[in-house]
Copies of this chain bind each other. A is one copy, B any other.
Amino acid sequence: MAATMQDVARLAGVSVKTVSNVVNGYPHIRPGTRDRVLAAIEELGYQLNLTARNLRTGRTGIIGLAVPELSLPYFAELADSVIDAAEECGLTVLIEQHGGRREREIEVLTGARRHLTDGLIYSPLGLGPGDEHLLDVGYPLVLLGERIFHGPVDHVTMANVDAAAAATRHLLALGRRRIAVVGVHPGEVVGSAALRLAGYRAALEEAGIAPDPALEGEAGLWHRATGAAAMARLLDDGAAPDAVFGMNDALALGAMHELQVRGLRVPEDVAVIGFDAIDEGRYSNPTLTTVDPGREVIAETAVRLLHERTSGAGAGEPQRVVAAYRIDVGGSTDPSRRTASPEPGETTTPVPDDVEVPSTR
């Protein structure tokens, strides 16, 4: 069996408390004592039992990360960044997939696994107005990617409306007028889909173009496949767009694929822009113009906020952090950059979304 503190204490001729002190770096220990303990630890190959410590301290050193799916490249890359950032703080990450299914999203918030984690970084898709109370959980929670809740939780978000408008303006600046959007969640009033749609429409109206429902393509989960399917429906319905805004890169790449299946040239016939700046878009053909929402900053900020809540400086006003974004121009909107890496544009100072959010009280 594995050695315990008792064994170490016995071998070193000290009490368990002293071993504990050594293990935890308590400073006031006589050097000789410490050495004896360290030697005993070495000899026995002792390793601290984290479970026992967790039970005793009530903390686990594990944080949860709840995302729709890891097969969505944005969330895979986000998870990568979160794990690295957590490592820096000595934290471990437990990933949960909820698939964007509302009941799973709720389950994640209250499930038994929350006993295993000190806090949660939470990226829901299915929650909406009226769900604020669900976020009133008894543990530190950092909400990601949305701006929908007024609840007492930290937010790390991006300027969805503003960035989506900027993406649309980029297409308008190319002279495109029939700009489709892919990824719409009908009926949604908050969440990335609704906010990005709002930005898209705002930019169109700003340019004197009336949003056309025939150009708004629905897609539940933001996969390549759903992007391609939405694009196919738009084309079949005769929408005849000259540009497409994919609400994320996977959708955009799926849409681009479908355009190419139909023999349409990107960007000459139809320009395409995405959102997320995943690595994949740097190697697609053509390379993908996209909105870079600052994924790493978002991950690091979320971990930092959670870490602050879980360790010590617990209380305090809920924070809201809005990450800066920029547009990276690739070949899917600029024929001269067909195979060139997307060129970072200017970083835009974050402008928090100011869409009217329905209140529930």
Chain A interface residues (CB < 8 Å from chain B): 2, 47-52, 54-55, 60, 62, 69-71, 73, 76-77, 79-80, 83-84, 92-97, 112-113, 115-116, 138, 223-225, 228, 253-254, 256-257, 260-261, 279-280, 282-285, 339-340
Of the candidates A84, A92, A116, A283, the one having the most CB atoms from chain B within 10 angstroms of its own CB is A283
Interface residue from B69, B138, B224 paired with A282 (Cβ < 8 Å) = B224
Which 3 pairs across A and B sit closest by C-beta, in order of nearness?
A76-B76, A285-B285, A257-B283
In the complex, the count of this chain's copies comes to 2
B70 near A60 (CB under 8 angstroms)? no
Interface residue from B95, B225, B261, B339 paired with A79 (Cβ < 8 Å) = B95
Q: Inside 8 A of A84's CB, which chain B residues have their CB?
A: 97
B282 near A284 (CB under 8 angstroms)? no
Interface residue from B96, B280, B339 paired with A280 (Cβ < 8 Å) = B280
Give the complex CA separation of A88 and B62 in angstroms.
22
Given A95-B93, A224-B282, A260-B339 contact (CB < 8 Å): yes
Q: Inside 8 A of A76's CB, which chain B residues have their CB?
A: 70-71, 73, 76, 79
Q: Inside 8 A of A2's CB, which chain B residues have their CB?
A: 138
B70 near A77 (CB under 8 angstroms)? yes
B94 near A94 (CB under 8 angstroms)? yes
Q: Inside 8 A of A52's CB, which chain B residues have their CB?
A: 55
Given A116-B51, A116-B92, A283-B228, A69-B73 contact (CB < 8 Å): no
Q: Inside 8 A of A71's CB, which chain B residues have their CB?
A: 76-77, 80, 279
Give the complex CA separation of A50 and B55 in angstroms.
9
Give the complex CA separation of A84 and B253 in angstroms.
26
B60 near A51 (CB under 8 angstroms)? yes
B224 near A279 (CB under 8 angstroms)? yes
Q: Inside 8 A of A115's CB, which chain B residues have their CB?
A: 47-51
